[in-house]
Structure 1
């Protein structure tokens, strides 16, 4: 009941109490209690020793969510505090559990997550939190006497962005396969825009990573930058069009949708963040760490990461230029093939 009330919304608008949410939260709490009990009573199934790449990403995501949740509690935004301190907090654990299924979760991080999760949910779900605190964590005093799990620092944004990149890449590669299967169903098998592919046969995938954006995009970004007034925090659309016309890009059908999307990015991330299009991490390195999970989750026989420039030099079947050239920094392209 308390979880659902917190989820009903803040502010002066009418609260949205949803019985389906209440029923779902009963199951969610029951599952959480069972998982905590299972993990803490038998640590032999957990890994010890040095932390790997996915461990470090998970630890930074825990720290990030603790800090975000604290901000929302301080603002009495209980719906958002519940979102990041309860729902999203369990989502990052689920991802960590999946991506480390081959080697197992690290015992220190599982304990850290359970302890932090319990403290974050305590203001809204005190009874369940108290049960985990005393029964599973074997703390000597009530959770009401415990302090906030302050990590004492901000999270490493490079690892946070790498974690988000891995999740978005998994979605993109699944979407790429779905698109390919739809083309095959429409009788496009063997067309010049892609190699022949049998979805029922053993399959592998190539991931094409770009180190720079297409030249036309860079020209568009530069046009927006020249037309942007920092004092007014506004883009002069007339000047943007004039610059694009001068560069012969205004009639390109890709140009204006890209400019509009970029201006929205400026609103979401600020002008400085939008104009800085460089990634804070190495795509190739992150994808290399991510490949074992990709192969396992997508039932791939093999997967490899190639730079766009390297792939374009491979003039052989299975390297489709039109697919390779769609890759952009932060948004790789994928090509399925049969082994």
Structure 2
């Protein structure tokens, strides 16, 4: 019975370590050796050593006795970043990113303050690189919606800095440390959209007391102001200039007062359309943006011009009767001009030219 058991053990061991000859399928010897080594490595890690992915390899501080033991280091490399949308009203940044995570176990790391965190690739088809020293490298593509406070005091010439915080909820900084870098390829590509440009990406680390350590990717954005300049700022300037010129081009007499006032009121109604565009583009905060101040100033100038038209109107000129017209023509004729130079005067009855 003992011999039968020993024979079964040896037979199964030989099957596990059997070398397959791939050369008979037209493959070179080097590739055949490589495939056999990969097979043996996979069998060693996941069969003989009975690897369990649910057990964390983190060595907790409370159980460490060696003085040279260190916390587990998790390194994030931002390989690709593409911004989709920055909602100013909800102050939320939506983007897609590819992170290369270098660690032993990353299942407890999360993006902080994120509304939506979706892994693009399914975990069943994710590729992982395992080195002989135990370091695991796993590229992962995420679709993320994350909070991004926006400052609009210089809108539309503003710049924003959106933080992407990453931390572990279960482990303290004594057990796990997170850090990261930005790959050159992430900055060489256009990561912005039509409204925003990604100027650069930086990293920083913040610790809260001794129980939490947060690592940040900071995305620096600069707004492209062309749309707001051409659609809001320039029309406001043109409307204001034309309104002021139209209302004060001629003397402000009462007879033309209503016409001049209608120019200003029409311009104010047109401003409401521009104000509606502005209100939908900025968040409802206590800070009033630069473009909003500009539009309000334009509205104030037109409003002040309307007040001046109403309060400081001149009297209508009195209409001259026929005798006054004849007298004025006679006085001009007496200024040394020949009557032949004024043939129209000869047709005015009651005027005798000397």
**How high is the TM-score relative to the length of structure 1?**
0.21
Q: Which has the higher helix share?
A: 1
Larger Cα-atom Rg: 2
Q: Which has the higher strand share?
A: 2
